[in-house]
């Protein structure tokens, strides 16, 4: 099926930049589908941790990624029949996801699964390489970022709000390490895609960021570019 005519908005950026929240709301407002590509890396990581897979065995990890039996239903994410929406958000799973995401065979294994999310009337794709690798011809590409301090503070409030213990110094260190790994890996490193609008949300509310993305999209529509 040719899906080239189906509009895609890509929203990439570092961890805890708020892109998940912003992407979700933009998708809702436009009535578009939503791809949380990070969840696919997290699902692969969870599956690897549970199976005790060797973190150095790229091909075994790629096989796990290829054989993922996952499904998405609203806010819920399933691995097989099990609702793992909360389990994949654990810090250990996020860290493992960031490590296995550096392996080319794992990225390749998840490639076509991500393309399948492009369905009418449109898609908002959230990740690190949505605009640079997966949907390079997307009409609107956004790179959402925020200072590491602003992101650590948001994550801190999120964790405390959910009743989890949190330590600001540990969070800062963890974010910096993850940024480093995601930015400096050889395949699909985290960086703004060609033609992406860069949006620094350090001093912005979620509503303001959503408004900006929707404004860019509306402007493209007006020019008949989508």
Going from the C-alpha of 23 to that of each of 106, 127, 146, the distances in angstroms are 24, 10, 15
* 182 near ligand DC, judged by CB under 6 A: yes
Question: Least distance in Å: CB of 61 to ligand DC?
Answer: 13
Task: For residue 95, give the nearest of 15, 18, 151 by alpha carbon.
Answer: 15
Check binding of 193 to ligand DC (CB under 6 A). Answer: no
Closer residue to ligand DC (CB): 7 or 178: 178
Cα separations in angstroms, 30 against 12, 23, 36, 159, 210 = 18, 11, 16, 29, 11
Three-state DSSP state, 119: coil
**x/- letters, 1..40, toward ligand DC (CB under 6 A):** --------------x---------------------xx--
Considering only residues 84, 97, 140, 210, which one is a binding residue for ligand DC as defined by CB under 6 A? 97
Tell me the closest approach of the beta carbon of residue 178 to ligand DC, in angstroms: 5
Task: Output the CA torsion 160→37→182→105 (10° steps).
Answer: 140
98 in Cβ contact with 182 (< 8 Å): yes
Pick one of 7, 94, 122, 131: the residue that binds ligand DC (CB under 6 A): 94
> In the complex, which residues of this chain contact ligand DC (CB under 6 A)?
15, 37-38, 41-42, 94, 97-98, 101, 127-129, 178, 182
């Amino acid at each position: 099926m040719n899906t080239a005519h189906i509009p895609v908005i890509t929203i990439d950026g570092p961890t805890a930049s708020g892109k998940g929240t912003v992407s979700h709301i933009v998708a809702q407002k436009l009535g578009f589908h939503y791809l949380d590509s990070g969840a696919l890396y997290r699902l692969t990581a969870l599956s690897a941790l549970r199976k005790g897979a060797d973190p150095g065995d790229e091909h075994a990890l790629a096989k796990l990624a290829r054989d993922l039996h996952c499904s998405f239903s609203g806010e819920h994410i399933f691995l097989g029949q099990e609702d793992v929406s909360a389990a994949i958000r654990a810090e250990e799973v996020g860290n493992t996801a960031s490590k296995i995401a550096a392996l080319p065979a794992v990225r390749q294994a998840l490639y076509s699964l991500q393309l399948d999310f492009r369905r009418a009337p449109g898609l908002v794709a959230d990740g690190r390489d949505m605009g640079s690798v997966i949907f390079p011809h997307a009409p609107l590409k956004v790179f959402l970022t925020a200072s590491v301090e602003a992101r650590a503070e948001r994550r801190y409030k999120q964790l405390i709000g959910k009743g989890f213990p949190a330590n600001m110094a540990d969070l800062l260190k963890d974010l910096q390490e993850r940024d480093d790994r995601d930015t400096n890996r050889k395949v699909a490193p985290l960086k703004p895609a060609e033609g992406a609008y860069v949006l620094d949300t350090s001093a912005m509310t979620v509503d303001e960021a959503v408004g900006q993305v929707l404004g860019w999209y509306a402007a493209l529509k007006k020019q008949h570019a989508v």
